[in-house]
Amino acid sequence: MNQKKRTEIAELGEFGLIDELTKGATTSNKRTLCGVGDDAAVIAAGRDDATVVTTDTMLEGIDFDLTYFPLKHLGYKAVTVGVSDVLAMNAQPEQIMISIGVSSKIPVEALQDLYEGINFACNELGVDLVGGDTTASMTGLVINITTIGRAKRKAITYRSGAQFNDLICITGNMGAAYMGLQLLEREKRVLRDVENPEPQFTGYEYLLQRYLKPRARKDIIDVLAEEKIVPTSMIDVSDGLASEVLQICKASKCGARIYLDRIPIAKQTSALAEEMHIDPVVAALNGGNDYELMFTVPLSMQEQVMRLGLVDIVGHITRESTGAYLVTPDGSDIMLRAQGFKE
């Protein structure tokens, strides 16, 4: 019998799957400057300008758990997730469209809360909600957000622009959102059978905020513009530092060295990681959900970038043939690996 070949998604992983599905997607319109493969697609708009556009989907039970995720925060976070990809192109976010799939178990008031959070984030970022779609869902809440932004073509930062010897910079700190999620999951487990649950979050409020209400780093894009710094490449940190470094290496055909002791990790992140017997470096490398920005600049800009006081230099770009490594304080090299397909 002629049996059709069946490949499990797990064999390819998230990024392998995207590559497989989009390998036939060639572009033919001359205004499509960049298609699949970056944080957003880039479309020419006039001679010097471009529009960037990106879409993100969040599913109940996969990307969020409504037993502890306040809907107002979820609305705020959805906007952050979308805007973050536009910022990663060094573009200014301008419009969003939101589509929702709702099950009958969710009351109108809850959706009003969701939109309160969406509107709050839009006001904060100067973004207009200009449309969307509403459908029924049989599998819980679905949120899709399309985000549109604008930039000068020559200021757009692609994942593919990193050069040999460039410095790798990151904003904020890594792993806090992941530890916030671990804390929420722990309290959910502990309090499952308790009648009036009182979760223990004292001392870890920052971690919760980083997971539930992450801020898009528009401030960074504004400062870079003021300082006339155009990074050679940029990506937002949504899947964890390791995964993003590997994406830059793949797109730029280069290697990288990341120094473990230079990765910024907040005190609360280390404290909870220690309490929960998790290695804080693993949380920082693979945690995800940080929505910070990672970018590269030429070595000659080291002082200028340091003076901003907004970024940490965690490593540098090497030749492709040398691969992507994490360097530990005792000098040993650990090969970086991507994870993907996770919250």
Partner whose footprint covers residue 290, from Mg ion, ligand ADP, none (CB < 5 to 8 Å by kind): none
Instruction: Write down the least CB distance from residue 89 to ligand ADP, Å.
Output: 10
Instruction: Write down the least CB distance from residue 129 to ligand ADP, Å.
Output: 20
Partner whose footprint covers residue 22, from ligand ADP, Mg ion, none (CB < 5 to 8 Å by kind): ligand ADP
Instruction: Write down the least CB distance from residue 145 to ligand ADP, Å.
Output: 11
Residue 157 found at the interface with ligand ADP (CB under 6 A): no
Residue 37 found at the interface with ligand ADP (CB under 6 A): yes
**Helix, strand, coil in percent for the chain, rounding step 5:** 40, 25, 35
Other C-beta atoms within 10 Å of 154: how many? 9
Ordered strands of the 324-327 beta sheet: 233-237, 292-297, 167-171, 311-319, 254-259, 324-327, 333-335
Separation between Cα atoms, residue 323 and residue 337, nearest integer Å: 11
Partner whose footprint covers residue 301, from Mg ion, ligand ADP, none (CB < 5 to 8 Å by kind): none
Residue number with CB closer to ligand ADP (40 or 212): 40
Residue range at the interface with ligand ADP (CB under 6 A); choices 36-44, 148-156, 213-221, 274-282: 36-44
Residue number with CB closer to Mg ion (85 or 292): 85
Residue 276 found at the interface with ligand ADP (CB under 6 A): no
Residues near Mg ion (CB under 5 A) are 39, 85, 236
Residue 244 found at the interface with ligand ADP (CB under 6 A): no
CB 211 within 8 A of CB 310: no
Strand partners, 318: 255
Residue 63 found at the interface with ligand ADP (CB under 6 A): no
Contact letters for ligand ADP, residues 100-139 (x by CB under 6 A): ----------------------------------------
Separation between Cα atoms, residue 282 and residue 99, nearest integer Å: 34
Q: Within 13 Å and on the Cβ side, how many CA atoms surround 8?
A: 2
CB 336 within 8 A of CB 258: yes
Residue 22 found at the interface with ligand ADP (CB under 6 A): yes
Separation between Cα atoms, residue 71 and residue 77, nearest integer Å: 10
